[in-house]
Amino acid sequence: MLRMIFGEEPRRDEGLLKDAMGAMDQYLIRVRKNMKLDGDPKHRYRQHEIWTVGLKTSLDELEQSLYVAERFADRVTKAYQAEMNEDELDDYYRHVYFYKNGFIRVFSILDKLGNVMNDAMFLETEKMKQRFSFFTVLRNMQKRGTAPELVSRLTAIKEEYHLPLQHLRKRRNTEIHHMNTEMQDDLWQRHRSLNEKIKLENIDEHIEDLRQGYMAVCQILIAVFTILERDRTYTKPPTHKVARRRKRS
């Protein structure tokens, strides 16, 4: 959709994006099949269908935000705002807009996915923490010994992308809970010297962090939905055995 800004053809899914979308599509096929089989009286499968379609939309928005943020970043050649002409300054602010949208999407997707996992696997993470994240769900799975193969894969992805995710989380928290990143950086630099020009943040490093975050999200989605589609026990309520009373002799 957003590639039209640059006069380009619509995106063709490939690589990690194609695999992640495909994993979710396969899960949707099974969910919809289950809906037809039992009528979905509690609307549970319908809920999972809605959540999964929402995740597909969010991943699409993340990929587009990364792409557009990178394209506008390529147009920024000056290291200082004071040296930019009006067109370059506009491109810089467009880059910032889509970059912010991108890193917010990274954690939005992960938290939504955590909710899907919690419900699909009957993890009851809300008993640990009422407002939980994907990472809380992962810790709960480790604690309960649930799906060790999946836990191992998700833990490996988390460790591989630890630094970029840490950077993105810090910027996300600053953007949501504190003064926005650009103003904070500007004020800090002005405090150092009121006579110096304001230097931009390292745009290339920010884009690379967002790219790495996007790759992590794709790999996590592939791992989770491959397991959910493959192992049907995770989407069925756990059975609780009722102890029989001994008859008195």
- On the question of pLDDT at 198 being above 80, the answer is no
| pLDDT 10s digits, 79-102 | 888 888 999 999 999 999 999 999
From the list 128, 132, 124, the residue with the least C-alpha distance to 107 is: 132
Structural contact between residues 31 and 45, judged by C-beta atoms closer than 8 angstroms: yes
- Please state, in angstroms and rounded to a whole number, the distance separating the CA atoms of residues 151 and 125: 15
Confidence (pTM): 0.85
| pLDDT 10s digits, 46-89 | 999 999 999 999 999 999 999 999 999 999 999 888 888 999 99
Amino acid present at 238 = P
Cβ count near 78 (within 10 Å):
14
- On the question of pLDDT at 206 being above 90, the answer is yes
Residue in the structure block whose two tokens are 């920024």: 76
| Residue of 202 and 9 predicted with greater confidence | 202
| Residue of 141 and 232 predicted with greater confidence | 141
| pLDDT 10s digits, 144-178 | 999 999 999 999 999 999 999 999 999 998 887 76
Least confident of 12-21, 198-207, 222-231: 198-207
Percent of the chain scoring above 70 in pLDDT: 83
